[in-house]
Amino acid sequence: MDQMHKPGIVVAGVSGRMGRMLAQAVLESDACRLAGALERAGHPWVGQDLGTAMGGAALGIAVSDDAVATIAQAQALIDFTSPAATVAYAELTAQARAVHVIGTTGLDADDLRRIAAAARHAPIVRAGNMSLGVNLLVGLTRRVAAALGEDWDIEIVEAHHRHKVDAPSGTALMLGEAAAEGRRAPFETLRVPAREGITGARVPGSIGFSAIRGGDIVGEHDVIFAADGERVVLRHLATDRAIFARGALRAALWGQDKGPGEYDMADVLGL
Ligand SMILES: NC(=O)C1=CN([C@@H]2O[C@H](COP(=O)(O)OP(=O)(O)OC[C@H]3O[C@@H](n4cnc5c(N)ncnc54)[C@H](O)[C@@H]3O)[C@@H](O)[C@H]2O)C=CC1
Ligand SMILES: O=C(O)C1=N[C@H](C(=O)O)C[C@H](O)C1
Q: How high is the pLDDT of residue 3?
A: 77
The pTM (predicted TM-score) of the whole model is 0.98
- Ligand 2 centroid, distance to 22 Cα (angstroms): 14
Q: Both 234 and 143 in a single domain?
A: yes
Whether residue 5 lies in the annotated active site: no
- Ligand 1 centroid, distance to 26 Cα (angstroms): 17
- From the candidates 100, 160, 221, 236, give the one annotated as an active-site residue: 160
Q: Both 137 and 233 in a single domain?
A: yes
Q: Both 80 and 108 in a single domain?
A: yes
**Of 152, 143, 133, nearest to 179 (Cα)?**
143
Ligand with smallest separation from the Cα of 248: 1
- Ligand 1 centroid, distance to 202 Cα (angstroms): 35
pLDDT digits (tens, 9 = 90+) for 12-51: 999 999 999 999 999 999 999 999 999 999 999 999 999 9
Q: Both 85 and 24 in a single domain?
A: yes
Per-residue confidence band for 1, with pLDDT thresholds at 50, 70 and 90: low
Residues near 154 by Cβ (< 8 Å), separated by ≥ 6?
145, 179, 206, 207, 208, 223, 224, 225
Tell me: is residue 16 an annotated ligand-binding position: yes
Asked if residue 213 has its Cβ within 6 Å of ligand 1, the reply is: no
The count of structural domains within the chain is: 2
Q: Both 116 and 143 in a single domain?
A: no
Q: Both 209 and 142 in a single domain?
A: yes
Give the range of the structural domain holding residue 212, as residue numbers without chain letter. 132-238
